[in-house]
Amino acid sequence: MSEYINDSPDVLDDDQLPSRQGDGSEELLAGFASKETLHRKKLLLRIDHSVKSQLLQNIEQLDKLLSLNSPPELVSDESTEESSDEAASEGYEEDDEEVDPVDTQEIYDLTAHIQDPEHPLSLGQLSIVNLDDIQVRDDGNPKNMAEIVIRITPTITHCSLATLIGLGIRVRLERALPPRFRITILLKEGTHNSENQVNKQLNDKERVAAACENEQLLSVVSKMLSTCK
Amino acid sequence: MSIQLAKSLKLQNAKTWSVDYKKAHLIDCNLLAVASADHKIKVLDIRDVDNIRLNDVLDETVHKKTIRSVAWRPNCSSWTLAAASFDSTISIWNKEEPVVDYNDSDADDVYNQDEMELLAIIEGHENEVKGVSWSHDGMLLATCSRDKSVWIWETDEMGEEYECISVLQEHSQDVKHVAWNPFVNVLASSSYDDTIRLWKEFDDDWECVAILSGHKGTVWCSDFEIKEVEGGISRLCSSSDDGTVRVWKYIDDNDDEYGQQEWICQTILPKVHERTVYCVSWSENGLIASTGADGKLVIYKETDEEGTWEILAKHDLCHTVYEVNVVKWINLNGTDMLVTGGDDGYINLWSVNT
């Protein structure tokens, strides 16, 4: 996993990712300090390709120190990255859950921040997860079944990690969503050489259950999900 | 005809994967073994719907992972249970049937002290064991795994020693489930490769005698009709990821071709399920029940014309919004009932009212 199969994917900046309108995230992201640090982090990542790089960590530390003197809403870049996500989910929790259907933006917010297993970037930034490729059928009633279909776009057609990415998405959604959801995860048509094989595996409940009892696999998935919250 | 919930029992905070039912010989009780994702196997004693007690929780340190399947050994006087686990092993448990019934006075203590003991651990599969099934005489045990193989084990009267007599490796993918015919030693194995294979002993070796193709997705389960057919083999029903339940019928032996048999898909049952059908069960009275990821429980009845089936009853959201993994017919004091197990950790008992 040390060598990147895809060296120069089209990377979206985090503030380019679709987010819910009018939830205050634009204002948060518009803050000068946060936007600048985000941008800098992204430039550094392109040079170094690793979140573990000493330079990047030093600069992050510096940003954190500087942010201590900033107004309260302009926190460190790390948490700013998640701000649109948090704002959206907090808004959701305040509402009465019984009558509030889950929508595609919510599913996007839950999955777009999962870290790619080989790039130090999120599935949203790499356009593996796209808002337009999520379908939700939910009336919001916890006593009825609901359905989610999410189509993922691997970065290359022979990506050996497509199954792992799909597993990460499934684990994330099963942990975060109420039990009424039946989740179908598919590779977007024509994006992978062994599309049917991967699709079959990703939607086999028994295989997923067994994978989740495999400690090695589970620790990789946990690492991918560590960037969510 | 309607299906009504008679009893609902929460057994654990983890998926219920499998149940198996056995009627005791000496005392008047029904045993239900329950397998779950929390590595546990429970034995319930069911007298009637309002008299159910937890008889035993088997030693939970024996298996390190999910228990996927359980099966009571038929045709033996003691209570013997086989359990298949994702930890790649199969365990065999045993207890002599109590001669004193706890429902009789003062027998409570005697009864409860007597737990099921681990008789054997069977190793051999490379990874997750998904299914386990005993032959009708209780002398052969079949197991299947994600390693694509089906193993046949021979045992003795005591059920302590297990010798592998055949490893069947013709499936091209995981084998999800195995089921023996209740009258003759013919085994059906269901697979992720979308087929069912039938196996029979021929010239001292086990051979694949038929491949049942037709399902357009993983076959999750199969069950034989409980009806003795002179000179033949009773029918088989199967359930699949393609949302259908099919009935397969034995036609004839092709005499000169290594015991090969001709089977046909006799019918596809009226389609009700919207998602994967995880389990089917054929009752002694000829009814088929099915359940699956859509939470529906469906009962089908054959009309006077063989091969034509109609829906007798159906019930939605059997385990609220959760998926249902298993359904089994049981006979409680002369009445046919259904047991289901779901992802919610419950087992539910259903009465079928006319």
HSE of B54, CA atoms in CB hemisphere, 13 A: 11
What pLDDT digit, counting tens, does each position of A66-111 carry?
444 444 333 334 433 334 444 444 444 444 445 689 999 999 999 9
Of the partner residues B275, B293, B322, the one whose CB lies closest to the CB of residue A179: B322
Q: How many whole angstroms separate alpha carbon B322 and alpha carbon A206?
A: 15
CATH H superfamily, domain A97-229: Fe-S cluster assembly (FSCA) (3.30.300.130)
Residue A34 binned pLDDT confidence (cut-offs 50, 70, 90): low
Asked whether the beta carbons of residue B275 and residue A182 sit closer than 8 angstroms, the reply is yes
Best CA proximity match to B72, nearest among B64, B63, B81: B81
Residue owning tokens 């359980």: B70
Distance from CA of B65 to the nearest CA of A (A): 7
Partner A contacted by B343 (CB < 8 A): yes
CB contacts, 8 Å: B321 with chain A: 142-145, 179-180
As given in the structure block, the two tokens for residue B159 are 């059920």
Asked whether the beta carbons of residue B322 and residue A210 sit closer than 8 angstroms, the reply is no
Residue owning tokens 């009709």: B225
Q: Is the pLDDT of residue B107 over 80?
A: no
What pLDDT digit, counting tens, does each position of B118-157 carry?
999 999 999 999 999 999 999 999 999 999 999 999 999 9
Asked whether the beta carbons of residue B276 and residue A180 sit closer than 8 angstroms, the reply is no
CB contacts, 8 Å: B68 with chain A: 206
CB contacts under 8 A, B 118-137 vs A, are 127-128, 130
CB contacts under 8 A, B 189-218 vs A, are 192, 217-218
State what percent of residues in chain B have pLDDT above 90. Answer: 85
Distance from CA of A180 to the nearest CA of B (A): 5
Handedness of CA B236, B241, B245, B246 (dihedral sign): negative
CB contacts under 8 A, B 243-302 vs A, are 275-276, 293-295
Predicted confidence at residue B254, as pLDDT, reads 76
Best CA proximity match to A88, nearest among A71, A112, A68: A112
User: Number of CB pairs < 8 Å for A and B?
Assistant: 47
What pLDDT digit, counting tens, does each position of B293-344 carry?
999 999 999 999 999 999 999 999 999 999 999 999 999 989 999 999 999 9
Of the partner residues A180, A200, A210, the one whose CB lies closest to the CB of residue B321: A180
Best CA proximity match to B46, nearest among B324, B333, B351, B340: B333
Asked whether the beta carbons of residue B66 and residue A213 sit closer than 8 angstroms, the reply is yes
CB contacts, 8 Å: A213 with chain B: 65-66, 86
Q: What does each C-alpha distance from B308 to A89, B250, B269, B323 come to in angstroms?
A: 52, 16, 8, 28
DSSP letter string over B199-257? EEEETTEEEEEEEE---SS-EEEEEE-S---TTS---EEEEETTS-EEEEEEEEE-TTT
How many other C-beta atoms are found inside a 10 Å radius of the C-beta of residue B268?
Answer: 14
Mean residue pLDDT across chain B = 94
CB contacts, 8 Å: B130 with chain A: 206
Amino acid identity of residue A39, one-letter, is H
Predicted confidence at residue B56, as pLDDT, reads 92
Residue A41 binned pLDDT confidence (cut-offs 50, 70, 90): low
Asked whether the beta carbons of residue A200 and residue B192 sit closer than 8 angstroms, the reply is yes
As given in the structure block, the two tokens for residue B20 are 């198996």
Asked whether the beta carbons of residue A145 and residue B294 sit closer than 8 angstroms, the reply is yes
Domains belonging to chain B, first-starting first, are: 2-353 (2.130.10.10)
Predicted confidence at residue A171, as pLDDT, reads 97
For helices A195-202 and A162-176, angle between their N-to-C axes, nearest 10 degrees: 30
Mean pLDDT of A187-204: 92
Of the partner residues A142, A144, A209, the one whose CB lies closest to the CB of residue B66: A209
Q: Is the pLDDT of residue B112 over 80?
A: no
As given in the structure block, the two tokens for residue B150 are 């089906």
Asked whether the beta carbons of residue B146 and residue A210 sit closer than 8 angstroms, the reply is yes
Asked whether the beta carbons of residue B174 and residue A207 sit closer than 8 angstroms, the reply is yes
ipTM for this model: 0.93
End-to-end CA distance of chain B: 5
What pLDDT digit, counting tens, does each position of A150-179 carry?
999 998 877 779 999 999 999 999 999 999
Residue B127: helix, strand or coil by DSSP? coil
Asked whether the beta carbons of residue A179 and residue B218 sit closer than 8 angstroms, the reply is no
Residue A62 binned pLDDT confidence (cut-offs 50, 70, 90): low
Point out the least confidently predicted range of A30-44, B189-203, B293-307.
A30-44
Residue B24: helix, strand or coil by DSSP? coil
Mean residue pLDDT across chain A = 76
Give the start-to-end residue ranges of the domains of chain A.
18-94, 97-229
- Tell me which chain A residue has its CA closest to the CA of residue B128: A210
What pLDDT digit, counting tens, does each position of B220-259 carry?
999 999 999 998 999 999 999 999 999 999 999 876 667 8
Mean pLDDT of B201-220: 95
Q: How many whole angstroms separate alpha carbon A200 and alpha carbon B276?
A: 12
Residue B203 binned pLDDT confidence (cut-offs 50, 70, 90): confident
HSE of A29, CA atoms in CB hemisphere, 13 A: 22
